[in-house]
Amino acid sequence: MHSNTWLALETSTDTLSLAVARGTQTWTHTSAGGALTSTHMIPQTLTLLKEACVALTDLQAVVFGRGPGAFTGLRTACSVAQGLAFGADLFVLPIDTLLAVAEEARAASAASGSKPVTRVLAVMDARMEQVYMAAYEFKPITTDAVSSADQANLMRGTWCCVQEPELHSPETLHWPADWTQDGFIAAGNAWPVYAGRWPAALSGPQLLVLPTAAALLRLAPAAWAAGEAVPPEKALPLYIRDKVAQTTDERLQIKAQQAAAQ
């Protein structure tokens, strides 16, 4: 095992996102996911590892986006992470996909030269007229909290979850009561899907981003330091919805309600 060498798998949406980190270098792959994930994921993962000159046994852990997200995508990422980790005698590091959305928003703001994002309301399309949401705050760490090497890996701060992942309709979306409207950014992929249905109080910026494997890599050192790695057999997806499909009657009822509202 080599420290700061990770493989990350993110398939909670219709995008297949993979990444390998070796020291300060990162290799990424992004392509269409969905139904293609099950056939493309392992070959693309092995190709990416080869490009990075990294063997499975070199990895510190296999990281995966545990959810919430697409049911099949979460199960696929978890099972592949488990299989690879079992074979190489590695730990698995599950990380919330909504946290990866928050980290992507932070990275995007930093890349644009804007004021660094410290509060993110992460909102992803859950389909069935609902969204997954959670709220996160990025807090700097003091210089004496960690070693200088670890501090670079922790990006001079760490994320705290201030509102756990929940399932809502767009209209009932909410955020921490002490967050002012101009004090956070809303990020995710749900904005165009449910345009016109968001709470009127959500008047701040809405950033269109997806969870990515690269974001998982940036989050991995802090998650590892927090003791969140588990043996492969204990790695599980995060589901916050028991029901994964609507009946025909339910779909027709929703369409009728939408037509009546127009």
Tell me the CATH architecture of domain 5-96+227-234: 2-Layer Sandwich (3.30)
> Are 104 and 187 within 8 A, CB to CB?
yes
CATH of 98-208 among 3.40.190.10, 3.30.420.40, 2.40.270.10, 3.20.20.370: 3.30.420.40
And the tokens for 100?
A: 């990866």
Whole-number Å distance between alpha carbons of 28 and 23: 14
Positions in the chain whose pLDDT score sits under 50? 145-154, 243-247, 250
Tens digit of each residue's pLDDT (9 = 90 or more) over 105-163 = 999 988 888 777 899 999 999 999 999 999 999 997 755 544 444 434 445 689 999 99
And the tokens for 92?
A: 């698995």
Q: Where in the chain is the domain with CATH 3.30.420.40?
A: 5-96+227-234, 98-208
Q: Give me the sign of the Cα torsion angle 211, 3, 27, 156.
A: positive
Whole-number Å distance between alpha carbons of 242 and 36: 24
Q: What is the pLDDT of residue 146?
A: 46
Q: Terminal CA-to-CA distance of the chain, rounded, Å?
A: 59
Helices (H), 52-113: 71-88, 97-111
Q: What is the pLDDT of residue 117?
A: 87
Q: What is the pLDDT of residue 229?
A: 98
Count other Cβ atoms within 10 Å, centred on residue 244: 11
And the tokens for 254?
A: 């929703």
